[in-house]
Amino acid sequence: MKKARFYGHGLPGMQKLTFPGKLIVIEGTDGVGRSTHINLLHDWLESKGRGVVVTGLTRSPLIGAGLQSAKESKLLGRQTMSLFYATDFADRLEHEIIPALRAGFVVLADRYVYTLIVRDIVRGIDGDWLRKSYGFALVPDLAIYLSVDIDTLVARVLRAGTLKYWEAGMDLGLADNLFDSFLAYQSRLLEEFETISEEFKVPRISSKGTIRAVQTRLRKKIQRSFSDLA
């Protein structure tokens, strides 16, 4: 049983809560295999008798559909989109993540506030403002950054299929074609992820290698962090 810790002011009325559950975050840019590894971790943890809840960006019942529509329309400004994502996160935190932790579940988060901060900084939004804005975010029990180099990332995404507008950062006007824009945008994201992972003390695990090898590294890290999950 642990007391809730927040990065700043926290959510109103929740600063004194205690949680028997655990919040584990898997971070990283597009194409590093987060979703694949979270699905495998989900099955592994359930096989150990733990209840597991998986959450991720844009999945809020309150705001998720509207956020997806905003992404598709490409009409909203960067600051408005930033607040949209923050609202999605806040709703999931209050109504999904915290209740699950209070009930003793392991919550696996497919990306967290680190991605939201990194994306917005790359889009020119003030970093200090972002950090203060996300002061309501719960500090995870464990966050892991799946790292990758730009050449490996490009090869993976190209093998997976067509490049996408937002993954390529086309809204930033970095290039006049998807490939060059993707290369420039993802390079900036990776640089900022390195900074954020240092600042928030998020350990890195290389996403290179086979799925089995990376999954083994993730499980060992989790087992070292939580003796009751061994």
Please report which confidence band the pLDDT of residue 88 belongs to, taking 50, 70 and 90 as the band edges. Answer: very high
Please report which confidence band the pLDDT of residue 1 belongs to, taking 50, 70 and 90 as the band edges. Answer: low
Crossing angle of helices 34-47/211-225, nearest 10°? Answer: 50
Distance of CA 55 to the CA centre of its chain: 9
Please report which confidence band the pLDDT of residue 78 belongs to, taking 50, 70 and 90 as the band edges. Answer: very high
Pairwise CA distance, residues 148 & 161, whole Å: 18
Pairing of strands 52-56, 18-19: unpaired
State whether residue 82 is helix, strand or coil: helix
Q: Do residues 199 and 140 make contact, with C-beta atoms less than 8 angstroms apart? A: no
The pLDDT of residue 230 is above 80: no
The pLDDT of residue 120 is above 80: yes
The pLDDT of residue 225 is above 90: no
Question: Can you give the pLDDT at residue 160?
Answer: 76
Q: What is the mean pLDDT of residues 60-79?
A: 89
Q: What is the mean pLDDT of residues 12-29?
A: 89
Q: What is the mean pLDDT of residues 39-66?
A: 93
pLDDT tens column, 175-214? 999 999 999 999 999 999 999 999 999 999 999 999 999 9
* 82 Cβ neighbours under 8 A, 6+ residues apart: 116, 120, 123, 125, 130
* 116 Cβ neighbours under 8 A, 6+ residues apart: 57, 82, 85, 86, 89, 130, 134
* pLDDT > 90: percent of the chain: 72
Question: Can you give the pLDDT at residue 148?
Answer: 93
In angstroms and rounded to an integer, the radius of gyration of the C-alpha atoms of the chain is 17
Listing DSSP states for 88-114 in one string gives HHHHHIIIIIHHHHHTTPEEEEES-HH
Pairwise CA distance, residues 32 & 16, whole Å: 36
Q: Where are the domains of the chain?
A: 2-148+202-223
The pLDDT of residue 229 is above 80: no
Task: Work out the mean pLDDT of the chain and round it to a whole number.
Answer: 92
Assigned CATH class of 2-148+202-223:
alpha beta
- Range among 60-64, 67-71, 212-216 rated most confident: 212-216
